[in-house]
Amino acid sequence: MPHHLFPAATPETLERLGEIPLLKLISNFDWSLTPLGAITGWSESLKGAVRVMMTSSTAMAMLIGEEGILVYNQAYADFVGTRHPEIFGMPAVQAWPEAAAFNHDKIERGLAGLSTSLPAAEMTLNLNGQPETFWLELHYSPVMGDDGLPLGSLAILHDITDRMMAEKALARSEERLSLALNGSTLVGTWDWDVSGDVVTADDKFAQMYNLDPLRAGLGVPVSDFVRAIHPDDAGRVNKEIEEALQTGGQLRSEYRLVGANGEISWVVASGRPRMGPDGRAERFPGVVFDVTEQRRIAEALQQSELQFRTLADTMPQMVWSTLPNGYHDYYNARWYEFTGVPVGSTDGEAWNDMFHPDDQERAREVWMHSLQTGEPYEIEYRLKHHSGVYRWTLGLAQPIRDSAGNIVRWFGTCTDIHQAKIAAEERELVAQELSHRIKNIFAVLNGIISLSARSRPEIKPYADELRQRIFALGEAHDYIRPRSHASAAAGGRGTLKELVERLMQPYRAANGDRMEIIGDDVVIDDAAATPLAMLFHELATNAAKYGSLSATEGRVVLTGSQSGDYYHLSWKEIGGPPLEGTAAKGSFGSRMIELSVQGQLSGKLERFWEPDGLRVEIDLPLQGLQRSARLQN
C-alpha cells in the first residue's frame, strides 16, 4: 500500500517529489503512532488539503483531530526555526506550551466548523532558544472530511513583526512630533490639497492667520490664509508659492502677517510640494515659524551695532576690538584715517607690522602678557602714520567678561600722544638745564661761605655747618632731578631708602656699614626729598658729634614700617658714649628737625635719650611723602 500522498504518481514523479524535504518527511513519518494512523487510511479530502498546503509558498499548518496534530509546510518550518522538525506530527498544545490555551481554542473552533481571523496577534514564542515577541496575521478555516464534517483547521500565517515595529516606531515619532508642535507657541503646520484647493491646518497655524481652528482643521481654501499676509508682502509670497508649485522646489519665505487686532508679526513658511505622475503638484505640506521676537532682537542688535559704530567712528581716538584670543577683527574709521591702510588689511596679527620695528617685539610681549593674565593693556609705542612718519601713541585695552568671569572680547584705543611726547622731552631738557643751574647756585653759595669764613675765623664752625646743610640740600635735589625719559615719566620720584643711603655715604666706615636701614621702604617725591634730607642730615651730624657715630664701634639703625595712611620711622643710635639727661632744646638743629617733620611734612616727632643712645620716633602721613597723592585729593 502506498504510504505517500500521491498514489497515482509515476516513479519518476515520486522521485522528484521525494527531494522536497517536507514531502519526504511526511512520507517517512510513522503516522501509525498518532491518532491519524497511516497515510493510507486518511480520507481523500484530508490528503487533498495536505497536498495543497505542502506545495504553497505561504506558511500553513493543519491542526487535525481533537488533539490538533500538527502537519505543516516548508514555509511554516522556516518560521518555527529550531522547533522544526521536533514538533512535526505532535499535538499543537504540546508543541507550543507557551500558547497552549490559544491553540486549544482554535482546535475547538475548527472542529465546530468556525473560522477565525486575527489581523495582528501579538504572541510571545520560543523559536530560537529564548522568548521573542512576534506579531502574526492568522487565519483559521475548518477542513471538511469526506463526510462533510470538520476534521480540523487550516492555519495560514503571515509574520508581520517588522511591519508592526515600523508602524509603532512611526506612531511614536508622530506622537513626539505632535507633542512638540502642540507644546510650541511658535510653530504651525499645514497640508494643502492643491488639486482640490483645500488647506487643513493645526490650531497654531489657524491662530496665526486669523482663522477659526475648527474650520482650519476641516479645511478651507488657500485664499482664506493668504488674506492675512501683509499687503506689501502678498505679491512676492504668491510668486514664491507659484514657483514652488511649478518646479517642485523648496519654499522658504519670510513675510509679515496682520493680526485680527492689526498687530504685525513676522513668520517664516517652509514646505515642498508633492508632485504627481503627471508632474503637477498634488499636495503641499509645510510648517510656519513665528520669528517676530527673533526679528525684533535682530533689529535691536542692528540698531545697537549702528549706534556703536557711529560712536566709535566719531571718537577722536582709534578704537579697536579683538576676540578673546587676541585676534583683531574691528577698527573704527579713525584707525584707517591715521594709518591710511586698506580696510581689513590689519586684521589678525597684521596690526603688529604697523609698529616701529624697534617697538614691535616689546608691544607683542606686553599684549601677550595681557591675553594670558587678563590684566589691562597699557603701552606707549610708535605707530606708522599715513604720511610714513612714526608717531608716538598710547595703547590701552580692557577685557570684557561674561557672568562667569570669562573674557569674551577686548576693547582698546590708540591715542596720538606725539605732540605731548615731544613737549615732555622739551620740558625735560629745560628741567635738566634748570637743575644744573640750581646745582651751580649751591656750589656758588658754598664758595661764598668759604671765602667769608677765611676773613672771619671765629665763624668757621658755623660756616662749616652751613656748608654741610647746603650740601644735604644739593644731594636731595640731585637725587630727584630728572635725567632721562624714565625719570621724567616717574615724575621725579624715588624711595626713602635710596635717599638716606646717599646722604649717609660720608658716615660709612671703611671696614663696615655703620648705617643699617631695615623694614619697609616708601616712595617719596621731590617735595618731600628736601625736608627729609635736612632731617637726616641734622640727625647724622649730631650723631657724628655727640652720639653713636662719634665712637669707633657706634652705629645707627633706621627702621621703617607702613600702616594704613602713615609711615613710621625709628632712628636708634647704638654703641655711642653713655647719655646723661637730655640735650638742650631750642638749638638751631632741633628747630630745623621740627620744622622739617612737623611743618613741611605734617608729621610728629619724639626724642628719647636712652642710656645706650638716642632714639627718635617719627610718624609721617603718606600724603606728606607723595605729592601726587596730595594733588589727587
**pLDDT tens, position by position, 15-59:** 887 788 888 888 889 999 999 999 888 998 999 999 999 889 999
- Would you give the DSSP letter of residue 295? H
Is the residue at 309 inside a domain?
Answer: no
Contacts of 497 (CB under 8 A, 6+ apart): 517, 521, 560
Is the residue at 246 inside a domain?
Answer: yes
Q: What is the pLDDT of residue 485?
A: 42
In DSSP terms, which residues pair with 559 in a beta bridge? 518, 570
Specify whether 525 is located in the same domain as 610: yes
CATH code for the domain in which residue 193 is found: 3.30.450.20
CATH code for the domain in which residue 600 is found: 3.30.565.10
Is the residue at 258 inside a domain?
Answer: yes
Q: What is the pLDDT of residue 108?
A: 95
Distance from C-alpha of 152 to C-alpha of 45, rounded to nearest angstrom: 11
Task: Give the residue from 587, 570, 582, 585 showing the smallest Cα distance to 611.
Answer: 582
Specify whether 542 is located in the same domain as 607: yes
Is the residue at 300 inside a domain?
Answer: no
The grid cell for 115 is 473560522
Q: What is residue 334's three-state secondary structure?
A: helix
Number of structural domains found in the chain: 5
Q: Structure pTM?
A: 0.39
Amino acid residing at 326: G
Specify whether 604 is located in the same domain as 581: yes
Distance from C-alpha of 201 to C-alpha of 217, rounded to nearest angstrom: 5
Is the residue at 69 inside a domain?
Answer: yes
Task: Give the residue from 339, 237, 340 showing the smallest Cα distance to 286.
Answer: 237
Specify whether 422 is located in the same domain as 410: no
Q: What is the pLDDT of residue 433?
A: 60
Specify whether 60 is located in the same domain as 114: yes
Give phi and psi for 270, each to the nearest 5.
-140, 130
Q: Is 323 left (phi over 0), alpha (psi -120 to 50) or beta?
A: beta
Write down which residue in 490, 522, 540 finishes a domain: 490
Specify whether 561 is located in the same domain as 630: yes
Is the residue at 457 inside a domain?
Answer: yes
At residue 489 the predicted structure's pLDDT band, cuts being 50, 70 and 90, is very low
Write down which residue in 461, 490, 519 finishes a domain: 490
Q: What is residue 290's three-state secondary structure?
A: strand
Q: Of residues 258 and 308, which shows the higher confidence score?
A: 258
Is the residue at 67 inside a domain?
Answer: yes
Residues 100 and 56 sit within 8 Å (Cβ to Cβ):
no
**pLDDT tens, position by position, 349-406:** 888 888 999 999 999 999 999 999 999 999 999 999 999 999 999 999 999 999 899 9
Q: Report the helix count and the strand count for the chain, using DSSP H and E.
A: 22, 23
User: Can you give the residue range of the structural domain that contains 384?
Assistant: 315-415
Specify whether 27 is located in the same domain as 153: yes
Distance from C-alpha of 283 to C-alpha of 607, rounded to nearest angstrom: 106
Specify whether 453 is located in the same domain as 521: no
Write down which residue in 392, 415, 438 finishes a domain: 415
Q: What is the pLDDT of residue 537?
A: 79
Q: What is residue 122's three-state secondary structure?
A: strand
Distance from C-alpha of 395 to C-alpha of 382, rounded to nearest angstrom: 10
The grid cell for 479 is 637725587
Specify whether 571 is located in the same domain as 431: no
Q: Of residues 82 and 2, which shows the higher confidence score?
A: 82
Specify whether 543 is located in the same domain as 625: yes
Distance from C-alpha of 452 to C-alpha of 447, rounded to nearest angstrom: 9
Specify whether 568 is located in the same domain as 513: yes
Specify whether 264 is located in the same domain as 380: no
Mean pLDDT, residues 133-150 taken together: 94
Distance from C-alpha of 594 to C-alpha of 605, rounded to nearest angstrom: 7
Amino acid residing at 525: D
DSSP, residue by residue, 443-512: HHHHHHHHHHHHH-GGGHHHHHHHHHHHHHHHHHHHHHS--SHHHHHTTSEEEHHHHHHHHTGGG-BTTB
Q: Where are the alpha helices (DSSP H) in 340-480?
A: 357-373, 418-455, 460-480
The residue length of the chain stands at 633
Distance from C-alpha of 285 to C-alpha of 190, rounded to nearest angstrom: 6
Q: What is the pLDDT of residue 486?
A: 38
Is the residue at 174 inside a domain?
Answer: no
The grid cell for 378 is 597699557
The grid cell for 500 is 638716606
Q: What is the pLDDT of residue 541?
A: 81
Q: Is 37 left (phi over 0), alpha (psi -120 to 50) or beta?
A: left
